């Protein structure tokens, strides 16, 4: 572990130790202060956040974007304060401080199928959403991006598993096969973050009038297993955290299904249409509550270094342009 990785690990460990012992008002006030200090410096992440918000709210003035980015940073750090303190929350608090619009869609999907798939954007508090789901709906599995150092990733896995979730690392061998088996055999929710994939495997979609790429995983799983797929957007409002379960993403009538779907004619077109439906649902939710979208990385293809993007496409890898 490098000195920088050790410092990062110790900082997060301090969060799970010190922050959870602070009086609640003091903790959240402190995180507001941290958010404001970072916002005032307008570093690369905040500048990119404002550029992204400019796509969502194209008529916003510079002053408007600054106000929105400040709110977004405060909500983002509210998420982190929640994350450090949630291990001490009772089940009653987790349930009573969360509300789900369209909850009936999840319930109906679980009643009619073994499992359901939920595609999430970088919004609100997905840990709170996952904990609520495990307590009120069904066990939940999620895929998390690997963090460095390894100990930090393991700490996040431990934290989320303490909330009742099953976590697999992104890139784990045969993880899609594992998720497919769970959806077929268990009454389970599989949650996948689905609003950014700039690899050559990402599906190109229209998003607020421009091109970007989003992951194929949610649509792929839906075609393989027949599990219903729902986009979800998340936000904070007052003391509560919220989720909106959007209408089901519908596969084309002639879409191939089953484990060999990806080898059949029409697969690519079906995945593209379904991923565009996810993008459209995300766009609606983000447009309604732009300050709850915490996208501080480059997202649209036009923002990326086109030479690097082309090289990544040719190599089948991930462009590093814009990674924070």
pLDDT tens readout for residues 18-52: 888 999 999 999 999 999 999 999 999 999 999 99
Share of the chain above pLDDT 90, in %: 72
Whether 42 is covered by a domain: the verdict is no
Q: Is the pTM of this model over 0.85?
A: yes
Q: Which of 2-6, 37-41, 161-165, 234-238 has the lowest mean pLDDT?
A: 2-6
Which residue range forms the structural domain that includes residue 229? 91-312
Residue 126 counted as domain residue? yes
Could you report the per-residue pLDDT of 201-241, keeping only the tens digit for each? 899 999 999 999 999 999 999 999 999 999 999 999 999 99
Does the residue 71 lie in any domain?
no
Please report whether residue 321 resides in a domain: no
Return mean pLDDT, the chain: 90
Q: What is the tens place of the pLDDT at every residue in 125-152?
A: 999 999 999 999 999 999 987 766 677 7
**Cα 192 from Cα 296, distance rounded (Å):** 19
Residue 206 lies in a domain: yes
Three-state secondary structure of 210-239: EEEEECCHHHHHHHHHCCCEEEEEEEEECC
Residue by residue, DSSP assigns 227-290 as: --EEEEEEEEETTEEEEEEPPPBPPPTT---STTGGGSTTHHHHHHHHHHHHHHHHHHHHHHSG
Structure tokens at 173: 């061998």
Domain for residue 5, yes or no?
no
Above 60 in pLDDT, residue 271?
Answer: yes
104-126: per-residue pLDDT in tens?
999 999 999 889 999 999 999 99
123 contact partners, CB below 8 Å, separation of at least 6: 233, 234, 235, 285, 286, 289, 292, 293, 294
Report residue 248's pLDDT band, with 50, 70 and 90 as the boundaries. very high
Look at residue 35 and tell me if it is in a domain: no
User: Bigger pLDDT: 321 or 275?
Assistant: 275
Provide the pLDDT for residue 310. Answer: 64
Whether 321 shows a pLDDT value over 80: the answer reads no
Number of domains in the chain: 1
Inside any domain, residue 70: no
Six token digits for residue 205: 């979609």
């Amino acid at each position: 572990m490098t000195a920088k990785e050790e410092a990062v690990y110790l900082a997060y460990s301090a969060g799970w130790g010190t922050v959870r012992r602070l009086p609640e008002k003091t903790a959240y006030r402190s995180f507001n202060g941290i958010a404001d200090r970072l916002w005032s410096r307008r570093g690369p992440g905040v500048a990119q956040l404002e550029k992204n918000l400019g796509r969502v709210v194209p008529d916003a003035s510079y002053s408007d974007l600054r106000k929105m980015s400040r709110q977004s940073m405060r909500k983002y750090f509210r998420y982190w304060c929640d994350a450090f303190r949630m291990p001490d929350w009772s089940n009653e608090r987790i349930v009573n401080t969360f509300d789900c619009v369209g909850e009936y869609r999840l319930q109906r999907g679980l009643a009619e199928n073994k499992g359901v798939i939920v595609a999430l954007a970088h919004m609100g508090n997905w840990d709170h959403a996952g904990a609520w789901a495990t307590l009120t709906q069904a066990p939940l599995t999620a895929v998390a991006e690997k963090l460095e150092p390894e100990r930090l990733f393991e700490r996040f896995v431990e934290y989320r598993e303490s909330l009742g979730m099953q976590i697999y690392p992104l890139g784990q061998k045969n993880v899609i096969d594992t998720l497919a088996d769970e959806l077929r055999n268990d009454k389970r929710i599989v949650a996948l973050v689905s609003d950014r994939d700039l690899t050559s495997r990402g599906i190109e979609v229209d998003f607020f009038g421009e091109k970007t790429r989003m992951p194929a995983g949610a649509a792929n799983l839906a075609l393989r297993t027949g599990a219903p797929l729902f986009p979800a957007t998340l936000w904070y409002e007052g003391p509560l955290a919220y989720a909106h379960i959007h209408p089901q993403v519908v596969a084309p009538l002639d879409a191939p299904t089953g484990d060999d779907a990806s080898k059949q004619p029409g697969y690519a077109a079906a995945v593209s249409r379904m991923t565009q439906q996810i993008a459209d649902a995300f766009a609606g939710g983000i447009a309604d509550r732009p300050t709850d979208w915490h996208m501080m990385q480059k997202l649209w293809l036009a923002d990326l270094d086109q030479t690097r993007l082309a090289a990544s496409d040719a190599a089948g890898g991930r462009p590093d342009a814009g990674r924070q």
